[in-house]
C-alpha cells in the first residue's frame, strides 16, 4: 500500500488513537504511517469481539449449570482458544478438553491446577471457585 492510501476512516474501535501501519513512500521504501482506522477493519473487529463475548456468555452459563469446569470459563474470559491455552500451559489440547469436564477437573492435582492458575493469573482458590460477574 502506498503512503497516501493508508486508511483514515476514524474507526471507533481505535477510540481516538492511531495505529502504525507500514506503507511504501515515493522512493519505494517502507515507512511507518499513522492510521486512524479503516471502516471494514473496525466492523470486523466489532464482530470478532461480539463472537468472543457470546462464547464467554455460553461458557459462563455452562459453568453455572455445572456442565463445564472453571477451565472452560476462564479460557474465553482471558481470550484463550484451545491451541493458545495448550501452548501456555504445556498440556495437550486433548488433555485440556478433558480438564474442562467437572469430574476430571475435580480430580486434578494442585500441581496441574497451578499451571492454569499461572496462565489465567488467578490464585488456586480463585481457579477452583471462580467469582462469576453478572
Distance CA 58, CA 97 (A): 16
Q: What is the pTM of this model?
A: 0.74
Start-end ranges of CATH 1.10.260.40 in the chain? 49-128
> Above pLDDT 90, what percent of the chain?
60
- Kindly tell me if the per-residue pLDDT of 134 is higher than 70: no
> What pLDDT digit, counting tens, does each position of 85-109 carry?
999 999 999 999 999 999 999 999 9
Which residue pairs, CB below 8 angstroms and at least 24 apart, start in 27-33?
A: 31/3, 33/3, 33/6
| C-alpha 9 chain-centroid distance | 26
**49-128 CATH fold:** 434 Repressor (Amino-terminal Domain) (1.10.260)
3-state secondary structure of 91: coil
Of the ranges 3-12, 35-44, 79-88, which is most confident? 79-88
Q: pLDDT of 59-80, one tens digit each? A: 999 999 999 999 999 999 999 9
Helices (H), ranges, 19-109:
39-64, 70-77, 82-89, 93-99, 102-105
pLDDT of 130 > 80? The answer is yes
Whether the pLDDT of residue 40 is over 80: the answer is: no
What is the average pLDDT value for the chain, to the nearest integer?
Answer: 89
Amino acid at each position: 500500500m502506498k503512503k497516501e492510501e493508508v486508511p483514515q476512516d476514524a474507526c471507533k474501535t481505535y477510540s481516538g488513537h492511531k495505529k502504525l501501519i507500514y506503507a511504501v513512500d515515493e522512493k519505494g521504501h517502507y515507512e511507518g504511517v499513522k492510521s486512524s482506522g479503516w471502516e471494514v477493519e473496525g466492523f470486523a473487529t466489532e464482530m470478532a469481539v461480539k463472537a468472543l463475548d457470546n462464547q464467554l456468555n455460553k461458557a459462563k452459563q455452562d459453568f453455572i449449570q455445572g456442565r463445564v469446569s472453571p477451565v472452560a470459563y476462564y479460557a474465553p474470559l482471558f481470550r484463550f482458544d484451545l491451541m493458545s491455552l495448550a501452548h501456555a500451559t504445556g498440556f495437550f489440547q486433548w488433555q485440556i478438553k478433558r480438564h474442562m469436564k467437572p469430574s476430571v477437573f475435580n480430580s486434578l492435582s494442585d500441581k496441574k491446577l497451578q499451571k492454569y492458575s499461572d496462565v489465567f493469573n488467578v490464585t488456586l482458590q480463585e481457579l477452583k471457585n471462580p467469582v462469576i460477574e453478572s
